[in-house]
Copies of this chain bind each other. A is one copy, B any other.
């Protein structure tokens, strides 16, 4: 793990071969776990020799970085397409949530948990996760500011705290989807979306909230 500093830079443009390897690796990591899986397993699943695999990805960490980069590109494109002309922002966010949290196969959540567990002990991987987070949050903050300007959301919404609340809930949704075999992703998603809509109206900036928080009970 400690020798991964150089290897963790993701390859930027994805060839068809890169995509095939990433798909194979997702399957292998979900089944065997990131830690137990080997480059040999990934090569076999991708139908190539280990030597050939190493020409595309130098390590498991590089593969993980490639997966994360691919996901980031997709999600960033969805956030970049957020636009008032497409309807209410919260409706658009819900649709993105349905796509990435519910319609994706459960394996994606299993892999995310493997990556997070590694990131908790691996600075390089933690930095990579933070980079993804930053890209996403940046696009969302801009869209939320616009929705405040056009009156869809309350002008005093604390968008930083609102986003943190929603992101934590989405991460928790992902954890449950990965861990609980019987987890009802659709029902869980409804709770997430209802909470998002409720919190958008109930998370004002601290200055506006100050008088109310004195008597919390």
Contact B180 A130 (CB under 8 A): yes
10 closest A-B pairs by beta carbon, nearest first, are A168-B172, A171-B172, A88-B217, A198-B202, A117-B117, A172-B172, A120-B178, A35-B35, A110-B120, A113-B117
The closest CB in chain B to the CB of A202 belongs to B198
Contact A116 B119 (CB under 8 A): no
Which of chain B's residues have a CB closer than 8 A to the CB of A202? 198-199, 201-202
Which of chain B's residues have a CB closer than 8 A to the CB of A171? 168, 171-172, 175-176
Give the distance in Å from the alpha carbon of A82 to the alpha carbon of B152 in the complex: 39
- What are 17 A-B contacts with C-beta separation under 8 Å? A32-B121, A113-B117, A116-B175, A119-B179, A126-B181, A130-B180, A161-B191, A161-B194, A164-B191, A165-B192, A168-B191, A171-B172, A172-B172, A194-B203, A195-B195, A198-B203, A199-B199
CB distance from A90 to the nearest CB of B (A): 7
The closest CB in chain B to the CB of A161 belongs to B191
Which of chain B's residues have a CB closer than 8 A to the CB of A164? 188, 191
Give the distance in Å from the alpha carbon of A172 to the alpha carbon of B175 in the complex: 8
Residues in A29-55 with C-beta less than 8 Å from chain B: 30-33, 35-36
Q: Is A12 part of the binding interface, using a Cβ–Cβ cutoff of 8 Å?
A: no
Interface of A toward B, CB cutoff 8 Å: 30-33, 35-36, 87-88, 90-91, 109-110, 113-114, 116-121, 123, 126, 129-130, 152, 161, 164-165, 167-173, 175-176, 178-181, 188, 191-192, 194-195, 197-199, 201-203, 209, 213, 216-217
Copies in the complex: 2
The closest CB in chain B to the CB of A217 belongs to B88
Contact A168 B165 (CB under 8 A): no
CB distance from A205 to the nearest CB of B (A): 12
Which of chain B's residues have a CB closer than 8 A to the CB of A192? 165, 168
The closest CB in chain B to the CB of A167 belongs to B172
Known contacts A176-B168, A194-B161, A216-B91; is-contact A120 B126 (Cβ 8 Å): no
